[in-house]
Amino acid sequence: MSVDALSDFELGDVLGVGTVGTIYIATEIATGEQVALKKLHPAVSQDPTIRARFEREMLILSRLRHPNIIAYYGGGDDNGTLFYAMELVRGGTVKDLLESRGAFAWPVVVELARQICSALQYAHNHGVIHRDLKPGNLFLTREGEVKLGDFGIARDLRNADLTSTGMTVGTHAYMAPEQITGDASISGKADLYALGCCLYEMLVGRKMFNGENFAQLFEQHLRTPPPHARESVPDCPVELDEVINELLAKRPEDRPFNARKVQAVMLQLDETYHTHDLAAQAGSDVAGSDVAADGVASRGRQILVEQIRNRSDGPPERTVSWSRLAILGALILAGIAIASALSK
């Protein structure tokens, strides 16, 4: 796909709204192909720092071609409006699935971790640190593929950092200690810490730390020992529990060497545990699955696909805008007032 101008696309429903941009479902007029299109908000489009970060995001995505990273199709400046088109992923996010299903069976976590590690290792090999790895940025296809997205605050080691030294960036619940302190020498180990936070949440069904505000969360990330997943999920394999705990080490040097090392643990789990062991060890999602699989990863993928499709095929959520709620509220109040007047 060649992306030249916004006018090449017809914008549809809004997929998401962020602090600096809006993402739409868009259709390329010439081909009818649907994409996700991110457009910078007009209110911030003249801010040089925000424009530079948006352009950096496009540059980073243009370098990253990997099956577990959202595909970039192109973008640019259309009459002062920065935009870019990317792959449209239709299975929701890991966050959506957690909110609708709760904790995942551990084979699902192993399969998700395997794919996420592949994306992280590729990004790190190309000098990119994501810095905002979280369930909401892990997109899912209906075939159970993970797509890492939203590189809006990613660090590009090949270019000057746009974040001032000592400045904190990221999502509080998933930030490594060195991110919180604004360490200038931040590395891919920060993404590994966030991965540990994500895997814990997937297994247990809740975030690792639950501070009431960012100050409490920062204190917990900096000083509170991380809990073990096996304390809440007894059927979690020891090997999986241990690697998650290593990922959550306070010091970067105490974490696994790289994402590939973590992926190796997932592959080893696939070889060590077999399908006939899972029904006895894992939860109902595993035991009740009506599909056959030989190992942990394939069984995890099949369970994941079932859950994604069940969620996607369910009844659509009804949304009501604030304006409609306001009108409805006004009508109710008016009715009460009329009834009160007539009763006097």
Its pTM stands at: 0.84
- Residue 81 parent element (H or E): strand 81-86
- d(CA 214, CA 220) in angstroms, rounded, equals 10
The segment(s) of the chain belonging to CATH 1.10.510.10 are 92-276+297-313
Rounded to a whole number, what is the largest CA-CA distance in the chain? 79
Q: Report yes or no: 86 and 73 within 8 Å, Cβ to Cβ.
A: yes
Q: Report yes or no: 74 and 86 within 8 Å, Cβ to Cβ.
A: no
Please state the CATH superfamily assignment of the domain spanning residues 5-88 in this structure. Phosphorylase Kinase; domain 1 (3.30.200.20)
Q: Report yes or no: 200 and 236 within 8 Å, Cβ to Cβ.
A: no
92-276+297-313, what's its fold? Transferase(Phosphotransferase); domain 1 (1.10.510)
- d(CA 227, CA 265) in angstroms, rounded, equals 20
The segment(s) of the chain belonging to CATH 3.30.200.20 are 5-88
Asked whether residue 319 carries a pLDDT value surpassing 80, the answer given is: no
Residue-wise pLDDT tens digits, 62-71: 999 999 999 9
What is the predicted pLDDT for the residue at 320? 34
Q: So which residues are the catalytic ones?
A: 132
CA 210 to chain centre: 19
Residue-wise pLDDT tens digits, 244-280: 999 999 999 999 999 999 999 999 998 888 654 555 4
Closest listed residue to residue 98, CA positions, set 262, 311, 243, 324: 311
Residue-wise pLDDT tens digits, 137-173: 999 999 999 999 999 999 999 886 665 455 567 899 9
- d(CA 245, CA 239) in angstroms, rounded, equals 10
Residue-wise pLDDT tens digits, 60-95: 999 999 999 999 999 999 988 999 999 999 999 999
- d(CA 42, CA 39) in angstroms, rounded, equals 9
Q: Which residues are CB-contacts of 88 (< 8 A; sequence separation ≥ 6)?
A: 25, 34, 35, 36
Phi/psi region, residue 9 (left: phi>0; alpha: psi -120 to 50; beta: rest), is beta
- The percent of residues above 90 in pLDDT, for the chain, comes to 69
CA trace torsion 100, 104, 107, 109 (10° rounding): 90
